[in-house]
Amino acid sequence: MATTANTKASHLLVIIAFATVYIVWGSTYFFIQMAIQGFPPMLMGALRFFSAGILLLGWCYIRGDNIFVKRDIITSGICGLLTLFIATGIVIWVERNIPSAMVAIMVSVNPIWFIILDKANWRVNLKNKSTIFGLIIGFAGILLLFGEAFLKSVTGTMDHAKLTGLLLLLAGPVAWSSGSLYSKKRGGTAPARVNTSWQMIIAGLTFVPAAIIHQKFNGFNLATVPAQSWMAIVYLIIFGSIGAFSAYVWLLQVRPATQVSTHSYVNPVIAVLLGVCFAHESISLMQFLGLIVILLSVLLVNLSKYGKLTFKKTVTETVEQAGNCNHLNPASDLEQIKALAKIAYRI
């Protein structure tokens, strides 16, 4: 049975998964740039995702998971092509010519596309003012965070490569949101870790012909790859793909897609902090305000979800306790209370 956003999950595991996606994926901007200093972009994508997928699939096999379900493999393949090959591949490709700040701005519109494309939940998402305000405020925070760098970039000379990259970045968030929603809708019988494995394997294999077409193997020698690029790609494989992407796919099964998409606002925050701490970059007052605004947006988006869950739990417990009372023996009385509770929950 396909899992949904209402699937019960440990709150601790949800917190750990969100922290992993927020922090680790925020650091991947830094490590991708480090990796492509030694590896051609498409080859790096192939090595990263195929290696991560094989390792994770091997672990699934050891655990006794059924890893060869045709329907699940096809679904995972479609998701992997959209989210990893197209969306992440675009990020890897354009970071050769476009500053990370500009890339982060373009990618941060993911939550907007989640709402636009998630037609099944239009009534819920568009009715929830907290979610809408949170998304808008989050994007405003991104503009504050990277506004200065963005203005400096666009006022300079924009060559053909940079213009092409910007146009590609318009398609990236659409592909990512489409793949994520498809994964959430189609679900599957296999555990999330198995689906994640196949997504990465199929995406990794697709990067190979892309690298060949662009002739990125010509003149490449593994012996010349610097140690920092090797360390970066190992980090991307273990933490960025196996750890964070697995957590992301699992979160899509147990939490609303809109809530999961808030990583697009938090990841740039982590990227800035890494730049300040490890690349000796400075942070301005406007950027600091942007960080605060982004955190506020995440709170707004999540607040309504957790508020409803808490209220629903409270109502359920109250109804169950009422049902145990001596004066509520008839089943009809209990059903009436449940009906009233449902009406109150909708309000």
pLDDT digits (tens, 9 = 90+) for 27-56: 998 899 889 989 999 999 999 999 999 999
Residue 31 structural domain:
11-302
pLDDT digits (tens, 9 = 90+) for 313-322: 544 454 454 4
Residue 311 lies in a domain: no
Residue 198 lies in a domain: yes
Transcribe 142-169 into DSSP letters.
HHHHHHHHHHHHHHS---HHHHHHHHHH
Which residue in the block uniquely carries the two structure tokens 């605060």? Answer: 292
Residue 143 lies in a domain: yes
State how many domains the chain has.
Answer: 1
Mean per-residue pLDDT, 245-264: 88
pLDDT surpassing 60 at residue 1 = no
Residue 247 lies in a domain: yes
pLDDT digits (tens, 9 = 90+) for 10-26: 899 999 999 999 999 98
pLDDT surpassing 80 at residue 312 = no
Residue 44 lies in a domain: yes
Q: Name the residue with higher pLDDT: 123 or 233.
A: 233
Dist CA 112 CA 125 (whole Å): 11
Structure tokens at 345: 């929950």
Per-residue pLDDT band at 287 (split at 50, 70, 90): confident
Residue 127 lies in a domain: yes
